[in-house]
Amino acid sequence: MSKRLPLSKQSPVRDFYQVTVAAVIRETGDASSFVLDVPPSLTAAFAYRPGQFVTVRVPSDRTGSVARCYSLCSSPHAEEPPAITVKRTAGGYASNWLMDTVTAGTVLDLLPPAGTFCPESLDGDFLLFAAGSGITPVISILKSVLAAGRGRVTLVYANRDERSVIFSEPLRRLAAAAAGRLAVVHWLDSVQGIPAAAGIAALAQPYAGWEPYVCGPDPYLTVVRAGLGQLGVPAKRVRTERFLSLAENPFDEPPFPEPRAASAGGGLAATLSVELDGTATTLPWPPGTRMLDVLISAGLAAPYSCRQGICGACACQLVAGQVEMAHNEVLEAADLADGYVLACQAVPLTPEVRVTY
């Protein structure tokens, strides 16, 4: 079931969808997967790439609702329904609500899949790193490579102890079924201590030429980057995914900013040409206005989620012209080199800018 808010220049808007939970799978004592029953009418809206996430609206007595992003643990290539995995965190309002309240039959309000933590091709050899619930997008990539790719996969998975390993049994079955293509290396703090760069380098050394993807807390990302750096792996080759809380609720109607006059230091007026859903549109781009707000004001269904430069949902590719981004915590050097920009953070640097989604 789709809920579409009315379009208006004063009330920027976005689509969200109501999707029923088909099943809840307890993965560990503090983590569960929620299988989504996406109806045929929403198949196109919920088409996704390995490594992407969906944004969930969680009701709140204080603010009406809060929004959280949860990665899809399923694979679009493995003939399985889409599913997200949630790990309970101490004091985490959304994770506790989902773990304690949601059952089979619960209807969730969701934004469509988004994110850029996605391989361009599944045919290479992949060196995957995950820590804790960071396994969620990583296992989606892993399963997709095995199902639709031709390469090999090595997973290095860090956890506190054996009981906290999410997907322990599914990983064991995958490794057994894909012998010769998949190797799973568990790092348990209770046995080996906290991961250090030297230990990561030692594990990664045989696979230094493979495609590295990393997801986990910031300290883990730092350690893995350092370990790979000791092996001479260029930083721009290392793709990372961070779990960050949204400061704003993308389900709310955000205020449309008033453009600032160029004479008041508001920036450059430009013309924006955008190709979205197969349709080309040319729009005036007032000075001091972000690209995303220009698109929303024109009634275009441009994708977005956080509006803060941390999720990547609004990423588009720059075809001509130049823009400057006020903030970026998601696009890697390789993405920037390929011309990707965040529409929610972009202002023009040239009189004409052209992008495509």
CATH code of the domain containing 100: 2.40.30.10
Span 167-186, average pLDDT: 96
Nearest residue to 145 via CA among 124, 115, 170, 131:
124
CATH number of the domain enclosing 157: 3.40.50.80
The residue out of 206, 241, 276 marking a domain boundary is: 241
- What pLDDT score was predicted for residue 154? 98
Specify whether 98 is located in the same domain as 141: no
Residue 6 has pLDDT above 60, yes or no: no
Q: Scan for tokens 């949601």, then name that residue.
A: 102
Quickly count: other Cβ atoms within 10 Å of residue 236's Cβ. 12
- What pLDDT score was predicted for residue 253? 61
Specify whether 269 is located in the same domain as 230: no
Specify whether 154 is located in the same domain as 131: yes
Q: How far apart, in whole angstroms, are the C-alpha atoms of residue 57 and residue 249? A: 9
Q: Binning pLDDT at 50, 70 and 90, where does residue 51 land? A: very high
Span 225-238, average pLDDT: 95
pLDDT digits (tens, 9 = 90+) for 68-114: 999 999 999 999 999 999 999 998 999 999 999 999 999 999 999 98
**What's this model's pTM, rounded to 2 decimal places?**
0.81
**For the ranges 158-162, 165-169, 247-251, 296-300, which has the lowest average pLDDT?**
247-251
Specify whether 130 is located in the same domain as 235: yes
Nearest residue to 156 via CA among 115, 209, 116, 216:
216
Q: Scan for tokens 């389900």, then name that residue.
A: 251
Question: Residue 36 forms beta bridges with which residues?
Answer: 21
Q: How far apart, in whole angstroms, are the C-alpha atoms of residue 174 and residue 184? A: 9
Q: Scan for tokens 């992008």, then name that residue.
A: 355
Q: Scan for tokens 């441009």, then name that residue.
A: 302
Residue 353 has pLDDT above 60, yes or no: yes
Specify whether 149 is located in the same domain as 68: no
Question: Residue 310 forms beta bridges with which residues?
Answer: none
Domain with 101, as residue range(s), is 2-113
The residue out of 73, 90, 113 marking a domain boundary is: 113
